[in-house]
Amino acid sequence: MVASLESSRPIMAPSVSSKSNRFSTYSQAISVATTDSAREEIIAIEEGFDKLHNKKLESQRCDLTTEKER
């Protein structure tokens, strides 16, 4: 290993990504993280945004422009 410039201690070797599979402790099946809970959370947030839109108020809004209308 090469010593760092600031100290005499060696620089850590770069971590090597392993291509091994992670297995469940209970079985030999490969563990896969599910994203179902994340999808449910995103759907709940989108539904909340939909509830914030009030169509009656949106029809009353005016678009401000820089030009004056005659």
In 3-state terms, what secondary structure has residue 19? coil
Per-residue model confidence as pLDDT tens digits over 21-62: 666 566 666 656 667 788 889 999 999 888 888 778 777 777
Query: Integer distance in angstroms from the first to the last C-alpha of the chain?
Result: 78
When divided into structural domains, the chain yields a total of: 1
Q: Which position has the higher pLDDT, 47 or 11? A: 47
Radius of gyration, alpha carbons of the chain: 28
- What confidence score (pLDDT) does residue 15 get? 61
Question: Does residue 52 belong to any structural domain of this protein?
Answer: yes
- Name the token pair of 43: 């759907």
Domain that holds residue 48: 35-60
φ/ψ of 48, rounded to 5, equals -65, -40
Question: Residue 1: pLDDT above 60?
Answer: no
HSE at residue 42, side-chain half, CA atoms within 13 A, is 5
Q: Which position has the higher pLDDT, 16 or 39? A: 39
Question: Does residue 1 belong to any structural domain of this protein?
Answer: no
Q: Which position has the higher pLDDT, 65 or 42? A: 42
